Amino acid sequence: MTPELTILALAALLQGVQFCIYSVLANIQVTPRYALSPRDEPRQLTGIAGRSQRALNNHFESLALFTPAVLVITLSGNETSFTASCAGLYLGARLLYVPAYLFGWSPWRTVIWFAGFLATMALLLAALV
């Protein structure tokens, strides 16, 4: 397996970890009784639970760009040390993004997000070169 595909798998596992964090924090806030209900009346998550939900949603959006970037690089056979480094930078940024969002590290959350975004764009550009 290429380093880029390995990192994609790790990023998907990170998504699972984020989902668990979100689930625990949301259940604490809304109570398990509400979580197990049909949720006919929606509740807005606030504080760290709301931030964990937004960080999780952001990871879904991020993977929507990162996944095709890795697939194009891998299927075209254009893997290089540069593309592996870009993928590693993406994963590192995503790992830092979770605590940055949960604990409100401003402006670092945005800087960390942008590093991951640039790494993804560099992967896509490398596939075209």
Mean pLDDT (whole number) for 7-27: 97
pLDDT at 40: 84
The CATH number given to 3-128 is 1.20.120.550
pLDDT of residue 35: 77
Please name which of 97, 92, 99 lies closest in space to residue 113, comparing C-alpha atoms.
Answer: 97
**Single pTM value for the model:** 0.93
Domain limits of the chain? 3-128
Query: Which one, of 127, 128, 22, 37, lies nearest residue 74 by Cα?
Result: 127
Q: What pLDDT is attached to residue 28?
A: 94
pLDDT band at 41 (very low <50, low <70, confident <90, very high): confident
Two tokens, residue 115: 């590093």
37 confidence band (pLDDT: 50, 70, 90): confident
